[in-house]
Amino acid sequence: MSTGLDSPKAYLAQHALLDQLNLLDSVPIPDYASLLPSEADPLVNVFIGPSGTISPLHFDPRPNFFCQIRGRKFVRLINPKYQEDVYLNPDPMYANSSIADFENLDFLKYPRLKEVEMEDVILEEGECLYMPQKYFHLMRSLSPSISVSIWI
């Protein structure tokens, strides 16, 4: 029975679930990762959620292999050369995230957004997307989904 109200959605985001369950060895690290300079071990995180979950525009501190295991995700990508135009959050805790809504662009409130070039991708099951360090991205689940992020 529907009440007409939006019910809360649970979203497990950026969680070390595979490490907790001793399943980390079941995730193959892409061969390409060995070509990247890194002194740290890869960090593997899981994202599990229903359709409509969103990660607003942000960048990661390390290169990221983002793999879609189940479902579909919309991804909006922005080159880091536009860092001055994406209106980063002044709060140091969220300094890697934009305060602008990159799904509903407001050029009056954020005029520099007009300068930003964006690329949109739909990730299907079994596809991976490589994002270099500090490459901006927004993600929205288009269906119930499971994703794995491998930070190199």
CATH number at residue 124: 2.60.120.650
Question: Quick check: is 118 in a domain?
Answer: yes
| Whole-angstrom distance, CA of residue 24 vs CA of residue 9 | 27
Number of domains into which the chain is organized: 1
Question: Quick check: is 6 in a domain?
Answer: no
Q: Distances in Å between the alpha carbon of 152 and those of 15, 82, 108, 121?
A: 16, 23, 38, 22
pLDDT at 16: 55
Residue 64 has pLDDT above 70, yes or no: yes
pLDDT at 28: 58
Question: Quick check: is 1 in a domain?
Answer: no
**Residue-averaged pLDDT of the chain:** 84
Question: Quick check: is 44 in a domain?
Answer: yes
pLDDT > 90 in the chain, percent: 62
Question: Quick check: is 143 in a domain?
Answer: yes
Question: Quick check: is 3 in a domain?
Answer: no
Q: Provide the strand spans (E) within the chain.
A: 12-15, 43-49, 54-58, 64-70, 73-78, 119-123, 128-131, 136-141, 145-151
Residue 124, amino acid: E
Q: Of 145 and 18, which is predicted with more confidence? A: 145
Question: Quick check: is 7 in a domain?
Answer: no
Q: Which domain holds residue 119?
A: 12-25+34-151
Question: Quick check: is 83 in a domain?
Answer: yes
| Tokens describing residue 80 | 């880091």
Residue 9 has pLDDT above 90, yes or no: no
Q: Count the neighbouring beta carbons within 10 Å of the beta carbon of residue 103.
A: 12
Residue 4 has pLDDT above 80, yes or no: no
pTM here is: 0.79
Q: How confident is the model at residue 8 (pLDDT cuts 50, 70, 90)?
A: low
